[in-house]
Amino acid sequence: MTLSPEAPTAVPDGRHGVRPPRLVAHRGAPRVRRENTMPAVAVAEALGAETIEIDVRRTADGVAVLLHDETLGRMWGDARCVSAVDWCDVARLGNGLDRIPRLDDVLERLDGCRSTLLVDLADASDAMVAARTVAAFRGTTGVAWRGAPEAMSALRSVLPDADVWLAWESLEAPTAADLEELAPSTLDLDIAFLTPCTVEAAHDLGLQVSARTVDDDEPALWAARLGVDAVVTNDVASVRAAYAAAERDGWPDPDREPGETEVASRAQALAHRIAHEVIAFTREHPVGSVTTKANPADLVTDVDRLVEQHVRSRVRTVFPSHGFTGEEYGAAPGDRHRWFLDPVDGTTNLANGVPWTSMSLCLTRGGSPLVGVVADPWRGEVLEARRGRGAMLRDRPLRLDDAPRALAGAVVGTELDGHRPWAGFGAFLDALADRSCTLRVQGSGTLTIAQVAAGRGIGGCVSAFDPIDHGAAVLLVHEAGGVVLTRSGPVDGFPPVGEPFLVAHPGAADELHAVWTAALAAD
């Protein structure tokens, strides 16, 4: 099933008939005690979590222990991989009760308690050790499992009747064929991929639905209204309190929309934070996998996917009912608001070590842009705009004057159409050269357009408008006082999708537009 961005958001009645989902404590109670420790498990159980999720790894001598990371560094200050360290050495880390526990000790701790365990596994070898540990346990603690498909397949070889939660990272709902091998009981969704259609499709297949990781009231209430069966959270107490308040006072009306000013203010603050998070991640995360999409020149990296999943989750946390369209995972349905994201514009540059890429994030309402940010990881810059409120770079307003500008000695930016020149490219290059104006192709359409708003270059053009790639940059140009043009002249909002467009300094817009349209016509 492919989701349509226009699909209706079907939710249960806003005040009646909504049942709070089961609460799954993520890594115990990490906001109270250190994650994946016995105190964290005990606090989660005391807070009333129906299920406690833990991460399990194996030691060098085959002991199943609670640890999320492959190494001991982040939590325990030891850079070694836990799989290379014997249990006796692992047991010495930490102090007091804040130590790495064994899985069998946790099973005994919860024996006879109401809370069950959800064991998260990243590796098939870890799964074998964890499965044997559970198989040898003689108590009554209930255990379910989630993790990578290869880990779940290994688990099944030891525990053929294990209760498996299928981790699902797609906006397309699963089919019966997707479920055949692992026969899961539950579809486990990151909140980035939680949609009404997916919940409905999963229930139709007889699956329960779990949403992760939900720590704030608004997305928790939204997930409940969608009908999810479980919510994974770092903050059991707060989410439980939100559900109790909704049952007592009435569930929020899903049809109530905040005013545009409120939405735009919150969205601008959120987009600003996201942009800085993406800058840090893109700079620090080495490119791992590189694959292709439409052709061998159309690249995608793990950074593209990880950034998009992060941004989707951040937006969903604040605006759960908004629609979202991203470069890598497609369109999710929503209300009149829709976010457009290109996580890495200039992926070919990124994959080849060229430091000229960007992220584009734009919020629209009814098709009109409200907020846009362009993040430049390699210069650490965030260019941002809000409709009617201007454009900014750091604390400096961006404003292009109306003084006439000559093309001679100026720079105009453009991008290839994929990896080929667009129709009219050669004629445009020649016409600019005749006017002593230089044409640049640097590899990120988002930056090519956004730089004009910052006064860097006299203009820029792209062969086909797409709000995913260019929405934020076009808003920046408008709010900075620049001109956005199609073949027929200036436009106030977005250019038509798929149409070539030009942005220009107002003092050079007429001449540059004439040169550009003549080049398009000549070809």
Does 440 lie in the same domain as 393?
no
Last residue of a domain, one of 197, 227, 249: 249
> Structure tokens of 21?
């989902």
**What are the residues whose beta carbons fall under 8 Å from the beta carbon of 63, sequence distance 6 or more?**
87, 90, 102, 129
Q: From residue 274, how far is each of 309, 446, 477 by CA, in Å?
A: 12, 17, 21
Distance separating alpha carbons of residues 183 and 162, to the nearest angstrom: 10
Of 112, 65, 110, the residue nearest 92 (C-alpha): 65
Is position 5 within any domain?
no
Q: 498: burial class by Cβ within 10 Å (0-12, 13-18, 19+)? A: exposed
Spatial distance between the Cα atoms of 444 and 55, rounded to a whole number of angstroms: 39
- What does the pLDDT read at residue 257? 67
Residues 190 and 109 in one domain: yes
Residues 196, 60 within the same domain: yes
The answer to whether residues 66 and 203 belong to one domain is: yes
**Residue 94: inside a domain:** yes
Query: According to the model, what pLDDT value does residue 253 have?
Result: 75
pLDDT of residue 255: 65
Q: What is the pLDDT of residue 391?
A: 98
Pair (83, 169) in one structural domain: yes
Residue 118 within any structural domain of the chain: yes
Q: What is the pLDDT of residue 10?
A: 37
Instruction: Give the CATH number for residue 336.
Output: 3.30.540.10
CA distances from 166 to 120, 177, 226, 282, 349 (A): 11, 13, 19, 29, 35
Would you state the pLDDT for residue 261? Answer: 86
Last-in-domain residue among 204, 230, 249: 249
Range of the domain at 149: 22-249
434 and 500 assigned to the same domain: yes
- Which residues of the chain carry a pLDDT beneath 70? 1-16, 254-257
pLDDT attached to residue 7: 35
Neighbours of 139 (CB within 10 A): 11
Per-residue pLDDT of 61-103, as tens digits, reads: 999 999 999 999 999 999 999 999 999 999 999 998 899 999 9
Q: Give the end of a domain, one of 249, 282, 311.
A: 249
* Total number of domains constituting the chain: 3
